[in-house]
Amino acid sequence: MKIRSSKDLRIATEDARHHYPKEIVRLELYRLAAVFYASKRFRDLSDGSDYCPYQPLRDEFERSEIARILLLVGSSGRLICHDVKQSGLAGVLENNIVGMIQDDVRTKMTRKLNVLEVCSKILHAALIVPRVRYQGNYFRQYLRPEITLFSDETRKVGWKATVSVDKLVAAFSNITS
C-alpha cells in the first residue's frame, strides 16, 4: 500500500496495530526461547579454546539478541495487550502471571507481575540480566530461562522484576493465537 495522504497513513497504522505485531511477536518469542535453550547446547559444544567456533557465537550474540527481542516483544506486546483490553478481555491479561516484582529492591516484598506489566517493565528497564548457570568455569556457563529487569543500573535502588521466559512465551502464545 502506497501512502499518499494522511488517511492512507491512518489506515496503514491501524492495519499494523491489528495484524503486524501478533505474527512478529510469535516469531520473536520462538527466537527468545531458542536462544535460551540453545545456550546449553553451545556450552556443550564449546571446549573453551581460542579456536572453538561456537564460543564467539555465544559470547557475541546471546545477550544482545535477548535485549533486541525483549524490546520488540515489549513494544509489540503493549499494542497487543491494548487490543485485548479493548475487546473486553482484560481478565485474560491479569490471569497471565509471568513473573514477580519488587517495587523497591531494599525491601523483600514482592507481588505478581502480569503480561501487560512485564511489557511496560521491559521498555522501562535500565538493565536486563539473563540468569546464568555457572559451573566453575566461564566456558561452562549457560543461560537459564529467566530474566531479571532493573530500573537502575546499580541494582541498589528502584524496582526489580524477575520474568520467566517459559511463562512469557506461553502467555503470549495464548493471547496471540
29-66 pLDDT, tens digit per residue, is 999 999 988 888 877 777 666 677 777 667 677 778 88
Q: How confident is the model at residue 16 (pLDDT cuts 50, 70, 90)?
A: low
Alpha-carbon distance values, 161 to 16, 47, 59, 110 (Å) = 29, 34, 24, 9
140: its cell numbers: 561452562
pLDDT value of position 10:
60
- Closest C-alpha to 111, from 103, 119, 123, 120: 103
Q: Taking the model in full, what pTM does it have?
A: 0.80
